[in-house]
Amino acid sequence: MYKVASKMKLRFATSKGNLSVEDLWDLNLVTLDKLAIAIDEELSKSPRKSFIAETTPENEVAKLKLDILKDIIKTKMEEKAKKESEKQRLSEKNKLLEILARKEQANLENLSEEELRKRIAELG
């Protein structure tokens, strides 16, 4: 799909001007969604020009554009979910490290004077 788009030098008309497929990756999800909706509406409104052929060349280009947009949106959504998952994992790890540090501190505070003196002597 991307090979075909690059061979065609496919461009997407936006409020920022005509964008290449590569430029689409820089757009946020809301903008991509609006662009996909517009192309989907264009596809649904286009009249059927032939009862023999299933699609017209214009419909093929619009379908290709929509497929590219849907793929980019899907990829960006997956990346966003992965980042959120990683953020939650790191947050949980930090909480566990804090709890561990508190427990280690409590263990040190529970040592007897003799054990404390011994550990201090070991440290020099």
DSSP conformation class of 3: H
Q: How far apart are CA 22 and CA 32, in angstroms?
A: 13
Tokens 């690059």 appear where? Answer: 6
Q: 94-106 b/e with 16+ CB inside 10 Å = b?
A: eeeeeeeeeeeee
User: Which pTM was predicted?
Assistant: 0.71
**48: confidence class by pLDDT, cuts 50, 70, 90:** low
Rg (CA), the chain: 29
CB 27 within 8 A of CB 35: yes
Around 17, how many Cα atoms within 13 Å sit in the side-chain half-sphere? Answer: 2
Q: For residue range 16-35, what is the model confidence (pLDDT) as tens digits? A: 899 999 999 999 999 999 99
CB 21 within 8 A of CB 2: yes
Three-state SS at 75: helix
Q: For residue range 53-98, what is the model confidence (pLDDT) as tens digits? A: 666 677 889 999 999 999 999 999 999 999 999 999 999 999 999 9
